[in-house]
Chains A and B, each alone.
Chain A
Amino acid sequence: MIQAFHVYKQYDRESMALSDITVHVEKGDFCFLTGPSGAGKTTFLKLVFREELPSQGQILVGGRNITAIPDGQIPELRRSVGVVFQDFKLLKRKTILENVAFVPRILGVPAREQKRRAFAALRSVGLHHKMHAYPLQLSGGEQQRVAIARALINEPMLLLADEPTGNLDPDMALEIMRLFLEVNARGTTVLVATHDREMIQRMGKRVIALERGRVVAA
């Protein structure tokens, strides 16, 4: 599903965010991406859904070389990838139901169907009773779950989650992991960036470890 070949990413002259990354994540895998703060986890995820371009190297997602696709095809790529952002990225001026419904909305799904799917997605993260609240009226953990609901609503082929349990209590974190496993069982490839060692151990899945922009264990 993800094939990275000798990928480098340099934001500015002094430091290299990623150096010579070569990793493969198979279709249907469930995999963690870990490493200390600043190791380059978020940067790697950004390369995978083409928010950033690598300075060098190639990345294939679902068999397509996304470093070479024209701008016009980027939206299509992003629609097939669900992303839980580290900073949630919710639309402050829209209710959480509208936030989640926005994804089917840009696909042209009829309004009633948008709402139905958004409601179902919110229910899966236990927030359907707050669907008319605005993001800033929710706690950090609740906002995170809205972000998760939005990432899952289209049943993406690939789910990228950046610290999806960072703001959650252990019970809720487990609940979310169970949700990811369920999605994974339905065929979605899952890549979770986290530094929660305990969680990683408990799940017993494959781990890709980064340190200062290099892969130290895969």
Chain B
Amino acid sequence: MLMLRALAYFFQEAITSLWRSRLVNSISIGTIAVSLFVLGAFLTVAGNLGTVVSRWTEKIQIIVYLEDGIEDRVRDSLENRLREDAAVESIELVDREEALARFQTLFRDLSSLPEDLGENPFPASLEVNLKPTHQSPGEVERLAADFTSVPGVQEIQYDLLWIERLATGVRLLRGVGAFLGGILVLAGIFTISNVIRLTVYAREDELDIMRLVGATRAYVKGPFVVEGMIQGGLGGLVAAGLLWLALRWLARDLASSELLGRTAFALPNEITVALVVGGMVVGVVGSLLSLRRVRV
């Protein structure tokens, strides 16, 4: 009950004070909002790209093209060896006719190509799917190396390089985001701490009086800490709002891209919560910093 009354008092005082110097306080809320917006933007983009990359990675396939006119016995033994490999989940045989059919459905304009050539140019192949636990670039390369010289194999194809690059890109983006965001968050703490410091200076007499009539240090500091927390929280809320708008705007332009898909531009709830809570923490830390020297 005492606690609740103290909290109610902190909030009343904080809100009165925020309103009294609303201009300066809007500036500090704005600074926090910008910092958190940048941080949130990086987190969202990195998060969304990460999802896309992992969706693509799930489809990692190795295609083993078979020699022309391969004997069934050789093919069976190749299939068996593949199945026995620890990394392999499943294999599917695509014979020459099916390869041609697939080509013709994918590229309608060129469907007359085989007739023009006078023969079916597509080789038969085995499509190898990897177990989820083995879907690393290293594993793919190992498998390819193991099987290139096995009888019946004409060529092994895998297109990992660009996926790998993308994954590196996402990691880099995350790193840059964390670094930049870290700096901006420090800037936010610095801003709030300075704005609160100004308020503390302006109200030094008041703080003195409170101490002298027996208010505890926590009671004297409480309203300022709550003030910082509200500033930071509002900053986080504004940042989340801006981010939501930005993503909507992006989504309108890019939603048509099948590659990325609609979900790639959603604002995850976790990020909204993280921004608001993060803002509050920034505010509390900032105000505690500026209150270090308040004596008993």
Please tell me if A119 contacts chain B, counting CB pairs below 8 Å: no
Contact of A75 (CB < 8 Å), options: B6, B206, B216: B216
Please tell me if A161 contacts chain B, counting CB pairs below 8 Å: no
B203 CB → nearest A CB, Å: 8
Residues on the A chain within 8 Å of B212, using CB: 49, 51, 78, 83, 85, 89
What's the Cα separation between A15 and B112 when bound, in Å?
Answer: 110
Contact of B215 (CB < 8 Å), options: A71, A77, A89, A106: A106
Please tell me if B219 contacts chain A, counting CB pairs below 8 Å: yes
A64 CB → nearest B CB, Å: 15
Contact of A105 (CB < 8 Å), options: B1, B9, B208: B9
Please tell me if B69 contacts chain A, counting CB pairs below 8 Å: no
Q: Which residues of chain B in 184-217 are interfacial with respect to chain A, using CB atoms and an 8 Å cutoff?
A: 205-206, 208-217
* Contact indicator A78/B213 (Cβ below 8 Å): yes
Closest to B2 in A: A108
Please tell me if B93 contacts chain A, counting CB pairs below 8 Å: no
Q: How large is the interface on A (under 10, 10 to 19, 20 to 34, 35 or more residues)?
A: 20 to 34
Residues on the A chain within 8 Å of B2, using CB: 108
* Contact indicator A108/B1 (Cβ below 8 Å): yes
* Contact indicator B296/A71 (Cβ below 8 Å): yes
Please tell me if A12 contacts chain B, counting CB pairs below 8 Å: no
- Proximity bits, A82-119, B CB within 8 Å = 1, else 0: 01010001111100000000110110101000000000
Q: Number of B interface residues, CB 8 Å?
A: 19
- Which positions in A face B, CB cutoff 8 Å? 49, 51, 71-72, 74-79, 83, 85, 89-93, 102-103, 105-106, 108, 110, 150
* Contact indicator B1/A102 (Cβ below 8 Å): no
Closest to A105 in B: B9
* Contact indicator A91/B214 (Cβ below 8 Å): no
* Contact indicator B209/A79 (Cβ below 8 Å): no
A72 CB → nearest B CB, Å: 8
User: Told that A102-B210, A106-B213, A106-B214 touch, could you supply 9 new A-B pairs with CB distance under 8 A?
Assistant: A75-B216, A75-B217, A77-B214, A78-B212, A83-B212, A89-B205, A89-B212, A91-B206, A108-B5
- Which positions in B face A, CB cutoff 8 Å? 1-2, 5-6, 9, 205-206, 208-217, 219, 296
What's the Cα separation between A79 and B219 when bound, in Å?
Answer: 14
Residues on the B chain within 8 Å of A102, using CB: 210, 213
Closest to B5 in A: A108
Supply 14 A–B pairs (Cβ within 8 Å), ascending by A.
A72-B216, A75-B216, A78-B213, A79-B213, A83-B212, A89-B208, A91-B209, A102-B210, A103-B214, A106-B213, A106-B216, A108-B2, A108-B5, A108-B6
Closest to B17 in A: A93
What's the Cα separation between A72 and B296 when bound, in Å?
Answer: 8
What's the Cα separation between A51 and B213 when bound, in Å?
Answer: 11
Residues on the B chain within 8 Å of A89, using CB: 205, 208-209, 212
